[in-house]
A and B are shown apart, each in its own frame.
Chain A
Amino acid sequence: MSVMTTDIHEQTAVPQPKQHGKPGGFLRHTNIFTGVVTGLVLAIITFAIGSKIVPWGNQNVDFDQVGFQALIGITYIAWVIGFMAGIGAFAGPIRWVLGHDLTHADAEYMAGKGQGRFKYWKYTTDHKVVGIQYLIMTLVLFGLGGFLAMLIRTELGITWAEVFTPNFYNSIIGTHGIVMIIAMIIVVAGPLGNFIMPIMIGARDMAFPRLNALSFWLLFAAVPPLVSNLLLGGIRDGWTVYEPLGSQSPVGMIGYQICIIVFAFSTGIASVNLITTAFTMRARGMSWNRVPIFVIGIISAAIMGLVWFPMFQYSQILALSDRMLATSFFNPLMGGSVWLYENLFWLLGHPEVYVVVIPGTAALIELMTVFLRKPLFSYKMAIAGFAGITGISAIVWVHHMYMTGWAPSAGYPFMLSTELISIPFGFLVLVMLGTMWRGKPWTRLPMMCVYAVIWNKIIGVITGVYLSDVPVDQYMHGSMFVVAHFHYMLMGAGLFAAIGAISYWFPKMTGRMLNERIASIGFWVAFFAFQLTFMSMFVAGLQGMPRRVLQFDNAFNISNWLSTIGAYCIGIGMVIFLFAIITSWRNGKPAPANPWGAKTLEWQTSTPVPLENFPVLPVVTSDPYGYGVPDPYDAVEKKMSEADQPVGAGAR
């Protein structure tokens, strides 16, 4: 399949710009530690100078004081700017403005050449390094979110007492929600979109390697402000931080807002990178009908993220402005509208759930073909499914607002659009079931994840159908039924799909085989415990339990006890799975280049993957789904169509 095209060694023949300093320049001196130190120092200086200018004396840190809000806001911004400066993010733009362009040696240094393990702590542009960085960050975020989930379920399980104060409880549910949402947005597109996708399309790196590093480190900078909210009074609101309730929170809320504003930039940049890479860097011969379906899924998610994230970002910018500048976008007393917030939020909020679910689904569709040794069923329907979801996701957001009273007659058109989107979603289910049909499954962990995810997806979709109906939503909105539904979709279908995807590509990314025995134990414990936890939660919702409450009627006790037991077991399962990941990464069996016998390009290069991915770029001659043997029943079909001739035709 491979024909010589761009030999890596040709590059040295290109005339180079002037080398400024040693290769890498300023980035030789920067890493995560310099970033953190610079960020902290700048934040402290800003706070010190600012507090001289902004009087917030009397040690009365009453959250009504606009000046104090502004001070904390600027301090957080200083952290972000300081961190980015300290990690070397500004070096590239400054060099570009001044005309000190990168040389090949600079680019190689920035890609991590010759730095061993240390490159993971630096502003490294190699997409494989960024992929691993995203993987670690995702695991950390899930750990934090999962820990908060255990706290939440403890509170809800101990039905006879308040374990936490109401304000702290409200903060942990909100922080749990946003941490998990962020983790789910990046879990597949981050590690796998970055590490695997470029290799899968036969490229040497992504379209914008420096932007790749930037998107990761922006995410890194955004996390401490978010987490710090718990130390600064908490966000005391759900993950949606509806205004004006959000404005009642102490300054910790600013951490949330800054996090989202920065995270939106990170996501936008990552989306630009993913889309451009997939569109412009495919190997020769990889026409659009030969592109692996995983790439299509990543493109769909990236497009939705790119187009809609600024809505969420602006909802937080304006909320922060209401705090820092006393504007009144969301303050009804002064002309603001709560409905404005809700619309801006959900305009992203809905496409976002597809950003979460689509990459994992695409990954599972991709790997199913490998483990069933069967071509993808109806590639065209899969494309239509992803395209339909990407398009229609833009016009369904009001179904989160049926009960707000914003536009009662809007219930009709948005009920229609919400039902419509189930049709392209159904195409993806068709593709999955069709691929599975008559296939012989190789029951390794990635394939078993497919079964688990389809089960969860069915339940998520059916309960989604209930909620999409306005009258039914009139009962169910704001109840635990909604919570159980979105956990089935985002966690049941999203996270478990991500686990499948990560265990599939684990050998390529880490060079080790995953200990499937332990990982499977963890996975199945989590899967069955998941059913217990969230089925009980459906029951609680049906019985009439509202969401985001720490105490409730005794009628809901049994459901909550069962949910809590299930949640603890999920925690145990996930810890076992994490244990499998960590021990396999360190001591697992070295992985061959293609342990699964797969046909996509990333498995055709060696493990560990060399810096330039391919010694010689491949040329593609077919799609990667050339599995399977001729269908024995096809002979029957052939007979039937041959029979469709007049009798005695030969005699005419």
Chain B
Amino acid sequence: MSLTNAPETEQPEEPTNRPAPSYRIREWLSRPYARHFLVLFIIFTVVIMPSAWLVLHFMNQSGAPASAIMSEIEKTIFVFTFVSAPLMAMALAILLYSLLGRDWGGKVHGEEPPMQESPAIRTNGTAVILWITATSLLAGFLVIWGMMELATITANSYGSTAPNQQPKDVKPIDINVTGAQWVWNFQYPDQRGIQSDTLVVPVDTPLYFNVTSVDVIHSFWVVELGIKIDANPGAVTNTGVTPNKLGTFNIRCAELCGMHHAYMQTKIQVVSQAEFENWVRVMGGEKTS
């Protein structure tokens, strides 16, 4: 080989006995327990994932989702269950294998301390790095998803936007919600201040709630529409939602407020626009403009 001014050519690597990078993976997979563990892991992951549907089944038993917000919440629960399933499956696989598997030596019973037979593994760099990476990615995914969802829901409920910052194209119906021991009172300031103890609202119309309390902390929970905000004495809090399903749903108090907290419930009736206007008129308010 010339060492003078000839242009440098690619030197072929000297041949070594260094195993191919995939060797380590293949070697690990060749261990019986590794294959068994992976099989268990996959089975458990597949078995756990459908629980997401079960969760939603219970949530929807009383008519949910009745708003875009509730749908977003359900979507989030669904996705979170799916992405969490592998981690849960891995832990369960290890638990089960430890108790029932044979390749690690099997269980030991008895009164006397057993002989030392387990491998003295103090650490495993690959496992640690894989774990940190996987859990960080999972946590990162959950955070980012969560923040995006929160932004979506805040937009859908006008979150904490002040009345003068609400969207101009569709004016929400303003409703003042007052919690008192142990009843909910709803007042419609734009409908001549009519008051009701049942919430009657038109479908597909944004609603904006101003919520307060005249005694202790309550919590205004419109269950199937997926909104909740505390009713605090001495402060006004806000939330909002657009119901997208006709029907009668539940409003429950979600913060212990004294003797009859359990009975501090009422209903929300989502009706058609025409029915709503009719109701307003009957209650003494005017037709909404």
Is there a direct interface between A and B, measured as CB atoms under 8 Å apart in the complex?
A: yes
Question: How many positions in chain B have a CB within 8 Å of any CB in the partner chain?
Answer: 104
Give the shortest distance, in Å, between B64 (CB) and chain A (any CB).
Answer: 8
**A338 with B91, Cβ < 8 A, contacts A471-B150, A640-B23 known:** no
- Whether B113 sits at the interface, judged by CB under 8 Å, is yes
Interface residues of A in 425-454 (CB under 8 A from B): 426-427, 429-430, 433-434, 436-443, 451, 454
> At the interface, yes or no: B94 with Cβ under 8 Å from chain A?
yes
Asked whether, in the complex, the Cβ of B107 is within 8 Å of the Cβ of A441, the reply is: yes
Q: How many residues of A contact B (CB 8 A)?
A: 103
Shortest CB distance B264–A (Å) = 9
CB pair A458 B104 closer than 8 Å: no
Q: Does B200 interact with chain A (Cβ within 8 Å)?
A: no
- B217/A627 in contact, CB under 8 A: no
Question: A436: which of B27, B94, B105, B142 is its contact (CB, 8 Å)?
Answer: B94
Q: Are A416 and B143 in contact (CB under 8 A)?
A: yes
* Residue B80 interfacial (CB < 8 Å): yes
Closest CB in chain B relative to A454 CB, distance in Å = 6
User: In the complex the two chains form, what is the Cα distance from A443 to B107 in whole Å?
Assistant: 6
Tell me whether A643 is interfacial, beta carbon within 8 Å.
yes
Residues of B within 8 A of A333 (CB): 233-234
- Which chain B residues border A543 with CB–CB below 8 Å? 58-59, 61-62
Least CB separation from B113: chain A residue: A597
A85 and B219 alpha carbons, distance in the complex (Å): 45
- Taking CB atoms, residues of chain B closer than 8 Å to A404 are 217, 230, 232, 237
Q: Give, as a whole number of angstroms, the nearest-CB distance from A19 to chain B.
A: 47
Q: Which single member of B59, B104, B115 contacts A475 (CB below 8 Å)?
A: B59
Distance between Cα atoms of A596 and B105 in the complex (Å) = 19
> Per-position contact with B for A237-274: 1 when CB-CB < 8 Å, else 0?
11000101100100000000000000000000000000
Q: By the criterion CB–CB under 8 Å, are A647 and B17 in contact? A: yes
User: What residues of A have a CB within 8 angstroms of the CB of B227 in the complex?
Assistant: 474
Cβ of A419: which chain B residues have Cβ within 8 Å of it?
A: 139-140, 142-143, 146
Given A426-B131, A434-B127, residue A640 in contact with residue B160 (CB < 8 A): no
A478 and B121 contacting across the interface, CB-CB below 8 Å: no
Contact of B88 with A471 in the complex, beta carbons under 8 Å? no
Nearest A residue to B236 by beta-carbon distance? A405
**CA gap between A627 and B114 in the complex, in Å:** 11
> Is B250's beta carbon under 8 Å from chain A?
yes
Q: Which of A411, A539, A549 contacts B58 (CB 8 A)?
A: A539
Q: Give A382-417 as 1s and 0s: 1 = Cβ < 8 Å from B's Cβ atoms.
A: 000000000000000000000111001101100110
A-B contacts counted at CB < 8 A amount to: 316
Question: Could you tell me if B256 and A237 are in contact, using CB atoms closer than 8 angstroms?
Answer: yes
Give the residue of B98, B123, B142 whose beta carbon is less than 8 angstroms from that of A378: B123
Q: A430-B128, A439-B98 are in contact. Are A478 and B139 (CB under 8 A)?
A: no
**Residues A474 and B228 in contact, CB atoms below 8 Å apart:** yes
Among listed A76-84, A114-122, A461-469, interface-contacting one: A461-469
B243 at the interface (CB under 8 A from A): no
Contact with A along B101-121 (1 / 0, CB 8 A): 000111111100111111111
Q: Which of B133-151 contact A (CB under 8 A)?
A: 135-136, 139-140, 142-143, 145-147, 149-150
CB atoms of B259 and A475 under 8 A apart: no
* A628→B142 contact, CB < 8 A: no
CB distance from B19 to the nearest CB of A (A): 6
Of the residues B106, B237, B255, contact of A478 by C-beta under 8 Å = B255
* Cα(A438)–Cα(B114), bound, Å: 15
> In the complex, which residues of chain B have a beta carbon less than 8 angstroms from the beta carbon of A242?
216-217, 255-256
A55 interface residue per 8 A CB criterion: no
Q: Does B226 contact A (CB under 8 A)?
A: yes
Contacts of B143 in A (CB 8 A): 415-416, 419-420
Per-residue CB contact flags for chain A residues 336-351 toward chain B (1 = under 8 Å, else 0) read 1111000000000000
Is A332 among interface residues, defined by CB-CB distance under 8 A? yes
Query: Closest CB-CB distance, B10 to chain A, in whole Å?
Result: 17
* Of the residues B105, B114, B228, contact of A403 by C-beta under 8 Å: B228
Q: Which residues on the A side are within 8 Å of B263 (C-beta)?
A: 551
Measured in the bound complex, the distance between the Cα atoms of B254 and A565 in whole Å is 25
> Could you say which residues of chain B place their CB within 8 Å of the CB of A147?
none
B47 at the interface (CB under 8 A from A): no
Using known A-B contacts A415-B150, A433-B94, A629-B119, determine if residue A478 contacts B254 with beta carbons closer than 8 Å: yes
Nearest residue (CB) in B for A542 is B58
Q: Say whether B39 faces chain A, with CB atoms less than 8 Å apart.
A: no
Between A244, A339, A474, A539, the greatest number of chain B beta carbons within 10 A of the residue's beta carbon is seen for A474
Q: Which residue of B lies closest to A436 (CB)?
A: B98
Residue of B229, B253, B262 contacting most chain A CB atoms (<10 Å) = B262
Whether B46 is near chain A, meaning CB under 8 Å from some CB there, is no
Other A-B pairs beyond A416-B143, A422-B135, A433-B94, 5, CB < 8 Å: A170-B256, A374-B120, A549-B262, A630-B120, A640-B19
Q: Can you show 14 pairs from A to B with CB atoms below 8 A apart? A: A244-B216, A375-B121, A408-B160, A426-B131, A436-B95, A469-B142, A469-B150, A470-B150, A474-B73, A474-B153, A544-B250, A546-B221, A546-B252, A629-B116
- A: which residues have CB within 8 A of B? 166-167, 170, 236-238, 242, 244-245, 248, 332-333, 336-339, 372-381, 403-405, 408-409, 411-412, 415-416, 419-420, 422-423, 426-427, 429-430, 433-434, 436-443, 451, 454-455, 458, 462, 465-466, 468-472, 474-475, 477-479, 539, 542-544, 546-553, 555, 595-597, 625-634, 636, 640, 643-647
The 3 closest A-B pairs by CB, nearest first: A332-B234, A405-B237, A478-B254
